[in-house]
Amino acid sequence: MVVKMEKDKVVDAFLSGRCPICSLLRQDEFDLLCHWVGVSDEKHRTSNDRDKLLKSRGFCNYHFWEFERISGSYGSAEVGMGLIEEIIDILQGEEGGNRFLGLLEHYRNLDCPLCADMAEIEAGYIKELISLLDSDENRRKYAAGWGLCVPHLIKTIIGVKDDSLVSFLFEEEKEKMEQLELNAREYVHKRNAPLRWEQTDDEKNSWFRAIEKLVGRRGTKILLE
């Protein structure tokens, strides 16, 4: 997949109120899901994309349920049919041990095409982010937002060669974490009336931001090897 990065799009995401990488990927993931929902239609039964999906053994657990959430029941049935045919072939084997190994092999070879595309897009955004943060102006814009989630901070730091940028990212993360912890503390403190009416927008959003800061958007993965 060829990914064209738009600098303004990445910079705008600094002020999205969330991790900028998560914010960008959220829309990309939905667009790709919509693409695969279209591919699931019966008229695409012999398309290259349909063939790619079947050869990949389908989607991962997370993306299959997200696919089902926006797909029509007939589209889900169409995709399910093709994948289940392969499972049936495995189960028709004569030896129990071979059937078990066949099932293991099937799932070991599962290579979710949506995960692959998202990983490539994510890598492109991180590379663009690192390039943009060479600029003091962009660093100021980044500092005005909420910064990266911890998973994307780790992935970004791995690709940074400039020690000053590493220090900047760590200091910003510490500052945002401290502010977020304070917002969450105040949100809980003001849970009852009349203090509840004094909750700020940042305090009201602290519960969501805290979760995203820790684990990123749904489906975000960290490779620590």
For the stretch 130-148, pLDDT in tens is 999 999 999 999 999 999 9
| Residue 224 pLDDT exceeds 60 | no
pLDDT digits (tens, 9 = 90+) for 24-55: 999 999 999 998 888 777 666 667 887 888 88
Residue 26 is assigned to a structural domain of this protein: yes
Amino acid type, 147: G
Residue 11 is assigned to a structural domain of this protein: yes
Residue 147 is assigned to a structural domain of this protein: yes
Task: For Cα atoms 57, 117, 162, give the angle at the middle one, nearest 5 degrees.
Answer: 140
Q: How many domains are contained in the chain? A: 1
Using pLDDT thresholds of 50, 70 and 90, give the confidence band for residue 155. Answer: very high
Tell me the residue range of the domain where 127 lies. 7-215
Residue 129 is assigned to a structural domain of this protein: yes
**62: part of which helix (H) or strand (E)?**
helix 61-70
Please tell me the chain's helix, strand, coil percentages from 3-state DSSP, rounded to the nearest 5. 70, 0, 30
Residue 222 is assigned to a structural domain of this protein: no
Question: Which is nearest to 113 in space by CA: 71, 56, 64, 65?
Answer: 56
Using pLDDT thresholds of 50, 70 and 90, give the confidence band for residue 4. Answer: low
* Structure tokens given for 105: 């092999």
Residue 113 is assigned to a structural domain of this protein: yes
pLDDT digits (tens, 9 = 90+) for 162-178: 999 999 999 999 999 99
What pLDDT score was predicted for residue 110?
87
Residue 132 is assigned to a structural domain of this protein: yes
Residue 108 is assigned to a structural domain of this protein: yes
* Cβ pair 217, 66 in contact under 8 A: no
